[in-house]
Amino acid sequence: MSEVVTDPQEQFEWITKNLQEVLNPQIIKHVLEEEKRPLKVYWGTAPTGKPHCGYFVPMTKLAHFLKAGCEVTVLLADLHAFLDNMKAPLEVVSYRAKYYEYVVKSILKSINVPIEKLRFVTGSEYQLKPEYTMDLFKLSNFVTTHDAKRAGAEVVKQVENPLLSGLIYPLMQALDEEYLGCDAQFGGVDQRKIFTLAEENLTTLGYKKRAHLMNPMVPGLGQGGKMSASDPNSKIDVLDEPKVVKKKIGAAFCAPGNVEQNGLLSFVEYVLGPIYELKNGKDKFRFHVQRPEKYGGDITYNSFEELKQAFKDEQLSPVDLKAGVSDAINELLAPIIKDFNESPEFQEAQQKGYPAPVQEKKKTKKVKDRGSKYPGAKGGEKSDDKVAETAQKLEQTALQ
């Protein structure tokens, strides 16, 4: 990553680059232009399912924040993961938090982002303290169950008979802004309702409003829907081997000429493009496809719009787009897989955070012992002989 920028206008451009929406941008400008200090940003992630390639999207934004000289905090929200419909017990969640930290650091290192400037915090470090708990009680006096449920609708797993924990989740996420001392919170656009809840209610406790930065949601590999850890077919795990990546990309939905519902093009736009730019300089773009000579030979695109238009006009086939994306993803994942294979601690965090499911042994059906008197029973003839022998003995005894 090139030098950190210091001009407030350029800093603002990097901070808001590729975002779908920004709430209260004036707060950011005030910090940069009036207070003339680094913007304090926090990004939280609940360690539930295994991190997948969709995590490269927020990672590129963390890189943008660092490029703009921001002070960035990564919250490993272990208690949030525990509250999210009891997806895992606390002892397992603690290992998942460690696994997430290893993955985040490895991804950032792989795209040349200096991780020394990042601060990692685990939620349970401060969320169990008395003052935090008291603020949570106070906040629950202002927020209705309807608003809390609505806020978490796109984030907390929805079930027919929801647990109370799902209502606590968004209140805690709002309070985290104060306790992590940030000026802005960053997340996906699916977090918007929680961000709005924070804006509307934190001031009731005497705390200031924060800015909110929202990424677009990257589509999964299927038709529609975001890339999700709960749907193995929609995502690529950060530790997937090259053959697995090629197989998953090969099965991805990618209709000829369709640029609207295309998870692969979105991945190029929001992951591969920004990462190439971070490594090679502002506004730089390159997407390369290896093709046999009989199909036209290798081809390189130097802007995303050029690539998108070529696919729309069907000058670039789905097969070629898939080949280019597969190669690029495998190149991204190689250093992460290497880090994993060389670190026993990384491996332990994965094994204990995501233990293999225990398969229940099938019960063997116990055959009932119906004796030897039923028709067709083995040894039936022997039984009849014994009966005859006993009768004969009785008869002889009677004659004596």
What residues are paired with 300 via a beta bridge? 288
**Stretch 250-262: mean pLDDT, rounded?**
90
- Is pLDDT above 70 for 112? yes
Residue 206: exposed, middle, or buried by beta-carbon count in 10 A (0-12, 13-18, 19+)? exposed
Reported as a pLDDT band with limits 50, 70 and 90, residue 241 is: very high
pLDDT of 64 above 90: yes
Model confidence band, residue 152 (pLDDT cutoffs 50, 70, 90): confident
pLDDT for res 177 = 97
Q: What is the dihedral of CA 385, 387, 391, 392, to 10 degrees?
A: 20
| pLDDT tens readout for residues 114-133 | 788 789 999 999 999 999 99
pLDDT at 48: 86
Break the chain into its structural domains and give their ranges: 8-215, 232-353
pLDDT at 282: 81
Residue 161 has pLDDT above 60, yes or no: yes
In angstroms, the Cα distances linking 390 to 85, 371, 381, 384 are 71, 19, 15, 10
The pLDDT of residue 153 is 80
Looking at per-residue confidence, does 5 or 158 come out higher?
Answer: 5
Q: Which two tokens stand for residue 359?
A: 């398969």
237: pLDDT strictly greater than 60: yes
Beta bridge partners of 226: 219
Domain 8-215 CATH class label: alpha beta
How far is Cα 15 from Cα 182, in angstroms, rounded to an integer?
A: 14
Name the band, by pLDDT with cuts 50, 70 and 90, for residue 100.
Answer: very high
pLDDT given for residue 230 in this prediction: 54
More confident residue, 376 or 63: 63
Residue 242, pLDDT score? 95
Asked whether 256 and 314 are in contact (CB, 8 A), the reply is yes
pTM value is 0.81
* Percent of all residues in the chain with a pLDDT value above 90, rounded to a whole number: 59
pLDDT at 370: 58
Distances (CA, A) of 285 to 278, 282, 323: 10, 9, 18
Mean pLDDT, residues 47-72: 91
What is the reported pLDDT for 336? 95
Q: If pLDDT is split at 50, 70 and 90, which confidence band does 89 have?
A: confident
Provide the β-strand partners of residue 43: 74, 186
What is the rounded average pLDDT of the residues 219-225? 66
If you count them, how many residues does the chain have? Answer: 400
pLDDT, tens digit, 9 for 90 and up, residues 276-331: 988 888 889 999 999 888 888 999 999 999 999 999 999 999 999 999 999 999 99
pLDDT: which is higher, 366 or 399: 366
Residues in CB range of 296: below 8 A, 6 or more apart: none
Question: What tokens does 104 get?
Answer: 């985040």
* Lowest mean pLDDT segment, chosen from 65-79, 95-109, 191-205, 374-388: 374-388
Partners of residue 122 on adjacent β-strands: 76
Counting residues of the chain whose pLDDT is more than 70, the rounded percentage is 84
Give me the mean pLDDT over the 229-238 stretch: 70
Which 3-state string (H, E, C) describes the chain? CCCCCCCHHHHHHHHHCCCCEEECHHHHHHHHHHCCCCCEEEEEECCCCCCEHHHHHHHHHHHHHHHCCCEEEEEECHHHHHHCCCCCCHHHHHHHHHHHHHHHHHHHHHCCCCHHHEEEEEHHHCCCCHHHHHHHHHHHCCCCHHHHHHHCCCCCCCCCCCCCHHHHHHHHHHHHHHHCCCCEEEEEHHHHHHHHHHHHHHHHHCCCCCEEEEECCCECCCCCCECCCCCHHHCCECCCCHHHHHHHHHCCCCCCCCCCCCHHHHHHHHHHHHHHHHHHCCCCCCEEECCCHHHCCCEEECCHHHHHHHHHCCCCCHHHHHHHHHHHHHHHHHHHHHHHHHCHHHHHHHHHHCCCCCCCCCCCCCCCCCCCCCCCCCCHHHHHHHHHHHHHHHHHHHHC
Q: What are phi and psi of 170, to 5 degrees?
A: -65, -30
pLDDT of residue 171: 95
Place domain 232-353 in its CATH homologous superfamily.
Tyrosyl-Transfer RNA Synthetase (1.10.240.10)
Section 47-53 average pLDDT: 89
Determine the Cα–Cα distance for residues 316 and 262; give it in Å rounded to an integer: 14
Does residue 113 carry a pLDDT above 90? no
In this model, does residue 223 exceed pLDDT 80? no
266-291 residue pLDDT tens: 999 989 999 998 888 888 999 999 98
Taking alpha carbons only, the member of 210, 159, 218, 230 closest to residue 190 is 218
Q: Which amino acid is at 50?
A: K
Name the average pLDDT for the chain: 86
Highest mean pLDDT among 57-66, 131-140, 357-366: 131-140
- pLDDT greater at residue 137 or residue 227: 137
231 pLDDT more than 60: no
The pLDDT value recorded for residue 386 is 56
- Residue-wise pLDDT tens digits, 340-392: 999 999 999 999 999 887 665 666 666 665 555 555 555 554 555 554 565 56
Residue with tokens 């685990």: 122
Rounded to whole angstroms, the Cα distance separating 270 from 61 reads: 10
Q: Phi-psi category of 109—alpha, beta or left, where left has phi over 0 and alpha has psi -120 to 50?
A: alpha
Q: Which two tokens stand for residue 204?
A: 């009731």
- Tell whether the torsion through CA atoms of 230, 238, 260 and 185 is positive or negative: positive
